[in-house]
Amino acid sequence: MSTKISHISILIDDYDKAIEFYTKKLNFILLEDTFIDENKRWVKVAPNKLSEFSLLLAKASNEIQKSRIGNQTGGRVFLFMNTSDFETDYQNLKKNNIKIIREPKTESYGKVLVFEDCYGNLWDLIEPFENKTEKFYSTGIIKVVEKENVEKVIKALIELKQNTRIETGNITFEVQQSKENPSEFIIWECFENEIEFQNHLNSKHLKDFLDLGLIEFVKGYPAQNIG
């Protein structure tokens, strides 16, 4: 026997208004819009045609239902939408002036933000971390803003290295200074997985180092071993 949840009702005040929002601003597709009577339609929308789950746009028909529009969960996040391209979806929300309740944040499970739909329902937009068990490599190139602060930066980098190396998820953290340009440094990092790397990015010692305002990033990118 196989069972699944196929759709969930979301209370609305107007079918066309809701369809406009979900299809034009959230880029959902309209799966069905069937006329039932002069007051009721069977309307379903979903993120894409392959989605096994859809929203049933249900027009409130009495005062109790109308009072629940936009707040079916008592102020908690109501719906959770996963994405494989967080940044593109985030920019789409901003482009369409959709209210961001909580700005993007990195959690142990992935990137997440909270936004509000046209009725006030709260949504989580989440890009889950993939390959959680694979080692995560990162390379960063930084340069000293003011050349007279090179020695200060070296001292601060040594302290950052010491604190990073005792992180539970860190495997390697090495810093090299360019001989050609002593104001430029390359940071080689390896962590147990991407989650541990994100924990490092949120660490107090890294924040303290950046707050010194002595360096600027030239380039940073994830990497992988070959061979």
pLDDT digits (tens, 9 = 90+) for 41-70: 999 999 988 888 999 999 999 999 999 999
For the sheet containing 136-144, what is the strand order? Answer: 170-177, 184-191, 136-144, 215-223
Read off the pLDDT of each residue in 134-159 and give the average, rounded to a whole number. Answer: 95
Chain centre distance of CA 165:
27
Instruction: Say which CATH architecture domain 73-128 belongs to.
Output: 2-Layer Sandwich (3.30)
Q: According to the model, what pLDDT value does residue 198 have? A: 85
Fold entry, domain 136-223: Alpha-Beta Plaits (3.30.70)
Cβ atoms of 215 and 153 closer than 8 Å: yes
Residues of the chain with CATH 3.30.70.100: 136-223
Alpha-carbon separation of residue 207 from 160, 204, 210 (angstroms)? 10, 5, 5
Read off the pLDDT of each residue in 153-170 and give the average, rounded to a whole number. Answer: 95
Residues of the chain with CATH 3.30.720.110: 73-128
Q: What are phi and psi of 76, to 5 degrees?
A: -85, 165
Cβ count within 10 A of residue 78: 19
Fold entry, domain 1-69: 2,3-Dihydroxybiphenyl 1,2-Dioxygenase; domain 1 (3.10.180)
Residues of the chain with CATH 3.10.180.10: 1-69
For the entire predicted model, the pTM comes to: 0.60
Percent of the chain with pLDDT strictly greater than 90: 80
Read off the pLDDT of each residue in 157-186 and give the average, rounded to a whole number. Answer: 96
Residue 2 clears pLDDT 80, i.e. is over it: no
